[in-house]
Structure 1
Amino acid sequence: MTEDITVTSDEDWYTEEVATFGDRLAGAREATGLKQGELAKRLGVKKSTIAAWEEDLSEPRANRLSMMAGVMNVSVGWLLTGEGDGVELPQEGDEMADADLLAILQQIRDIRSRMKGDLDRLAKLEKGLRKKL
């Protein structure tokens, strides 16, 4: 007995018919602009754990599943089955705009991080100066 195997292209990896839990998790994470490491930190797990979930090598426990749904503003049901409140399927042409927006968000985060470091150095200098006065 033979089975018909449908091969999908890279362009339709994220359709409702073929998306897995890992696909939906990765899609929701990317839609919220989070990197695997950032999501891992928010959930209190290792980055490798997020990678394993996205690759469908393992599944999260209920408490982590609930936390990740809240962080990414999707429903638990959508993460598990694709039904319910989730993220929009990628549209043609939207990828470039989304990539541009994500790049801008990353630049903002980088600037904010540098500013925080500069503010910390400024506070240390001010403290040292006050001690000398």
Structure 2
Amino acid sequence: MAEIREAATWFADDVATFGDRLLAAREAAGLGQAELATKLGVRDKTLAAWEEDLAEPRGNRLQMLAGMLNVSLRWLLTGIGDDLDEPGTTPGLTLPARLVLADITRIKTDLRKLVSDLEQAEDRLNLLLQADNPADELADEALSA
């Protein structure tokens, strides 16, 4: 896992894995593993597996993690970009603000999925309505007679 060292070398980006970055970001945010798992709505062992690089979270969870931990999604995934502040420095957002940001991100993800589901349902309905239906033809003939 990530080593916490002194000064500028406290986190070695060149050898860090996703799990290392997740662990370091969680610790920098001052969150315990169980606390973060609860906030994300996952089991403790799921978060532990992510931190140990035994499993990876889905996309919507990645966005929530980045928001809650106040790191960029790009950095969390690749280690490229803005990284963590050194231990003891003040993060840009407070924990409550990060939690609200994570909620917003989750809600946006849920809304995108709902909109996609709605569009698909509308398309299916339109196909059904446009299909040749003998009952519709009989009704049309009765009206024209």
Alignment match of 1:75 (pick from 69, 72, 76)? 72
Which portions of structure 1, spanning 4 or more consecutive aligned residues, are displaced by more than 3 angstroms?
Answer: 9-14
1:52 aligns with 2:49: yes
Q: Distance in 1 between matches of 2:84 and 2:4?
A: 19
* Residue number in structure 1 paired with 2:104: none
Residue correspondence of structure 1 range 1-133 to structure 2 within 5 A: 14-88=11-85
Q: Distance in 1 between matches of 2:19 and 2:10?
A: 11
CA contact (8 A) 1:15 1:89 kept: no
**C-alpha displacement at 1:83, in angstroms?**
1.2
Q: Distance in 2 between matches of 1:33 and 1:89?
A: 13
**C-alpha displacement at 1:16, in angstroms?**
1.1
Q: Which amino acid aligns with 1:38?
A: E
* Residue number in structure 2 paired with 1:129: none
* Residue number in structure 1 paired with 2:131: none
The alignment covers a number of residue pairs equal to: 85
Structure 1: 5+ residue stretches without partners = 1-8, 98-133
CA contact (8 A) 1:28 1:87 kept: yes
Give percent identity, aligned residues only: 60
Instruction: After superposition, give the CA deviation of every residue in 1:49-75 in whole Å (9 maximum; x if it has no partner).
Output: 110000000000000000010001111
CA contact (8 A) 2:10 2:86 kept: no
**C-alpha displacement at 1:13, in angstroms?**
8.7
CA contact (8 A) 1:13 1:19 kept: no
Structure 2: 5+ residue stretches without partners = 90-145
Q: RMSD value over aligned CA atoms? A: 2.4
**C-alpha displacement at 1:85, in angstroms?**
2.8
Q: Which has the larger radius of gyration?
A: 2
